[in-house]
A = this chain, B = another copy of it.
Amino acid sequence: MKNFLFRICHLANLPLLLIVLLIGLNSCKSALNKSRTSKQNLAGDDFLYQYSIIDALMAGVFDGDLTIGKLKEKGDFGIGTFNKVDGELIMHQNRVYKVSYNGSVREASDTDSTSAAFVKFFQTDTTIYLAGKGLTYAQVQEYLSNKLNPNGIYALRITGLFSTMTTRAARPAKAPYTTLAGHLKNNQAVFNLRNTRGVCNGFLLPPYLARTNVPGFHLHYMDDSIKEGGHIFNFTTDSLKIEIDIAKGFVIENNTNDEFRKVNLAPDRGEELKKIE
């Protein structure tokens, strides 16, 4: 499959540190879709799938009934958490990994369960190569925000060598649960990784998906040797490959856990969410 292909000139002196030169252009997403249409109905595999909603997780619904085995049927790429918010979930090439509070990474069991996860069958629509000395996560966000339509739903796979990578992972909570912000206050480990090569998986979502998901950027990291990672706070790098997958839409499957029925989902938790992202 050939994709939109962008390559860069490495001109570290320029103000924005970013020069993007279009070299080639192609797409065969439609052909790929055709080969996958045998089991589609309301939403095909070019939709983002999510289990539960961010506001329920924010409000303390830390358990869900979807197994990791079932989650893998909904996508091959994505992010999320596990029951009890036990670590950070990253799905890469249809395998699911857990970055734990102690910093370790291991492949999750198919019998584990998730209380919130966002996945997709990743189909690259556009590839961008970016370079610039000391390029930060904030600069990459600014570049992509300017480039992409603000109303679109995007899966992002970013790979590179990161001189710094700051992440976090949550400690598993004990019932009775508090809110996510309340739990993270004293129960998240922050990792200051150095010279780490790996992949950042996640999403860029529009403002109308507030309450159900995280508007803006939300990425988790895992290094190529599967030894470190977590929910990304910041990074610096000199060059990046950014693969972008434009989704046709969005599927929300309600958490069937009884706590989801009981929780108060009326408040707008947008401001609370910004503080912990």
Q: Which residues of A contact B (CB under 8 A)?
A: 39-45, 47, 49, 53, 55-56, 74, 149-153, 206-212, 247-254, 260-261, 263, 265-266
User: Which of chain B's residues have a CB closer than 8 A to the CB of A149?
Assistant: 261
Q: Are B150 and A266 in contact (CB under 8 A)?
A: yes
Q: A39-B41, A41-B44 are in contact. List 20 more A-B contacts (CB 8 A).
A: A40-B41, A41-B41, A42-B47, A42-B49, A43-B49, A43-B253, A53-B208, A55-B208, A56-B151, A151-B254, A153-B254, A207-B265, A207-B266, A209-B211, A209-B212, A212-B212, A250-B251, A250-B252, A250-B254, A251-B252
Contact A251 B208 (CB under 8 A): no
Q: List 6 A-B contacts (CB under 8 A).
A: A41-B41, A42-B43, A43-B43, A56-B151, A150-B265, A150-B266
Q: From A215, which residue of chain B is reached at the shortest CB distance?
A: B266
Which of B210, B251, B260, B265 is in CB contact (< 8 Å) with A42? B251
Chain B residues lying within 8 Å of A150, measured Cβ to Cβ, are 265-266
Contact A263 B151 (CB under 8 A): yes
How many Å lie between the Cα of A13 and that of B212 in the bound state? 44
Closest to A210 in B: B211
* Identical copies of this chain, number: 2
CA distance A243 to B174 in the complex (A): 40
A40-B39, A45-B42, A55-B208 known; A253+B260 contact, CB < 8 A:
no
Q: A250: which B residues are within 8 A, CB to CB?
A: 251-252, 254
A151, B206: Cβ atoms under 8 Å?
no
Most buried by B among A43, A150, A253: A43
Task: Assess the B47–A251 pair: CB atoms within 8 A.
Answer: yes
A44, A248, A252, most chain B CB atoms within 10 A: A252
In the complex, A39→B150 CA distance in Å?
A: 32
Q: Output the nearest chain B residue to A267 by Cβ-Cβ distance.
A: B207
| Chain B, Cβ-Cβ closest to A119 | B42
For residue A14, give the distance in angstroms from its CB to the closest CB of chain B: 29
Cβ distance A212 to chain B, nearest Cβ, rounded Å: 6
